[in-house]
Structure 1
């Protein structure tokens, strides 16, 4: 199951777009009256993909450009572990909890690095540093 969720073979990527490390777990995301899915969060160098398991034959994918993600936050909960929230506009659009496959720190490091580049948020070198 993990392999199917993390397989990006059917997704058309941009030229020079690179896929980063995926996280698999429980996705909280509203779709067709449902709010919880088994799925994966997969960052690339330009966007974040949400892949959710619909049934044995169908996995649905949605790409979100980094410019549409207004924030990313982490919440540490005793029973669930780390919950990652992706903010779209003024509300949480997608959350990932109960991670069952993947390295959270590695995925977030990739995500922050490329989202920062995409949004041109790199820190400017301070020429007065002493």
Structure 2
């Protein structure tokens, strides 16, 4: 199941969209009420995907870059790193039990393409 969580299956990628690094761990998902799953966050050059394992099935949900207003990382002694994705003051997703090296690669990829995506959106708005 670990390998299935690192990939996004059944998703149509946009033209020139590339799949980047994934974080696999314990995902706390805050839609309505908090739910905890074994899952992953998979970054692409245009958006993030959240894979959640539920009864030996993997459910995939898209998270748009524009929906994420803040990213924070906590480092807890007994738990390790926890990545939090926020929309304004609302916590969207947290993922914990991830390795340090993968977190660094994930964040580097995310910030690079999030910035490029935001700059392209601003250019398109200016032209409209």
Scaled to the shorter chain, the TM-score interval is 0.7 to 0.9
Moved over 2 A (4+): 30-34
* Aligned residues of 1:22 and 1:102 also touching (Cα < 8 A): no
SS state of the match for residue 21, structure 2? coil
Question: For residues 24-50 of structure 1, what are the alpha-carbon distances to aligned partners after superposition, in whole Å with 9 as ceiling and x for unaligned?
Answer: 000000358551100010010010111
Alignment RMSD: 2.0
Return the structure number with greater helix share.
2
Q: Which runs of 5+ in 2 are unaligned?
A: 121-128
Query: 1:85: Cα distance to partner?
Result: 0.3
The answer for the alignment partner of 2:30 in structure 1 is 30
The answer for the alignment partner of 2:55 in structure 1 is 55
* Aligned residues of 2:30 and 2:91 also touching (Cα < 8 A): no
> For the pair shown, which has the larger CA radius of gyration, 1 or 2?
1
Q: Which structure 2 residues correspond to residues 1-130 of structure 1 after superposition, within 5 A?
A: 1-30=1-30, 35-56=35-56, 58-99=57-98, 103-120=102-119
Q: Which runs of 5+ in 1 are unaligned?
A: 122-130
SS state of the match for residue 9, structure 2? coil
Report the CA distance shift for 1:101/1:47 in structure 2 as closer, same or farther (over 3 A). same
* Aligned residues of 1:25 and 1:100 also touching (Cα < 8 A): no
TM-score (norm 1): 0.84
- How many correspondences in the alignment? 120
